[in-house]
Amino acid sequence: MASQDGLDHGDPESRQNASYREEEHASEGVFTLSDLIAAIHAMRETQREMVDTIKELKSSVSKLSKENERLLQEESAAARSNEPEKIKR
């Protein structure tokens, strides 16, 4: 099987050398186009997941906020109904 650098990496020694070169390139900050495409794809997928999570959190907060508002209104109504009526003279 030929790689992008044109060398056959079929035997274990060639694979080890190729792996070493890849690690060396990565430590030097040298990346292939395939590396960059894979990284961009991974970042795009992560961004989609983050957007979905943020939407879920916003929805959850909105639901909790509405529920809290409803409970406060019920408590306020209950407190008003329990107040003794003022006697008018």
Residue 9 has pLDDT above 60, yes or no: no
- Domain coordinates of the chain in residue numbers? 1-30, 34-82
Residue 46 has pLDDT above 60, yes or no: yes
Residue 18 contacts residue 9 (beta carbons within 8 Å): yes
How far apart are the C-alpha atoms of 89 and 63, rounded to whole Å? Answer: 46
Question: Residue 1's pLDDT band (boundaries 50, 70, 90)?
Answer: very low
What's residue 86's pLDDT? 58
How far apart are the C-alpha atoms of 65 and 71, rounded to whole Å? Answer: 10
Residue 56 contacts residue 62 (beta carbons within 8 Å): no
Separation in Å, CA 89 to CA 69, 74, 86: 37, 31, 10
Residue 3 has pLDDT above 80, yes or no: no
How far apart are the C-alpha atoms of 34 and 5, rounded to whole Å? Answer: 12
